[in-house]
Amino acid sequence: MSPAAEDPLNFLSGRLSGINNYPHDLIQNLLYEIVRVKELIRYYEDIPNGAGQLGASILNELVSEAYQSLVNYDTGLMNKYYDLLQQCD
């Protein structure tokens, strides 16, 4: 019997049977928002005469906290920061 045939939960095939993909989707969406807001930070930093520095600083703090929620795998905070980052523009 091959190792692939001994895969009752489909781990090797990439399909997870009976396991919710909710945390995976949340992580991926939060990472997309972090990347989007980091691009926004660059925009704020490029505003002449330092006019966007306060906004950039606030967004940097949000991104930092969102990243920390990923590191700690705190799904409650991940949801919170995902919602907050979506509102950034």
Write out pLDDT tens, residues 50-82: 999 999 999 999 999 999 999 999 999 999 999
Q: Please tell me the pTM assigned to this model.
A: 0.73
Q: Where are the domains of the chain?
A: 22-86
Q: Is the pLDDT of residue 44 over 80?
A: yes
Which contacts (CB < 8 Å, 24+ apart) does range 82-85 have? 82/26, 82/29, 82/30, 82/33, 85/30, 85/33, 85/34, 85/36, 85/37
Q: Is the pLDDT of residue 19 over 50?
A: no
CA neighbours within 13 Å on the CB side: how many for 71?
Answer: 6
Instruction: Give the pLDDT of residue 22.
Output: 72
Instruction: Give the pLDDT of residue 21.
Output: 66
Instruction: Give the pLDDT of residue 23.
Output: 79
Q: Is the pLDDT of residue 10 over 60?
A: no
Q: Is the pLDDT of residue 31 over 60?
A: yes
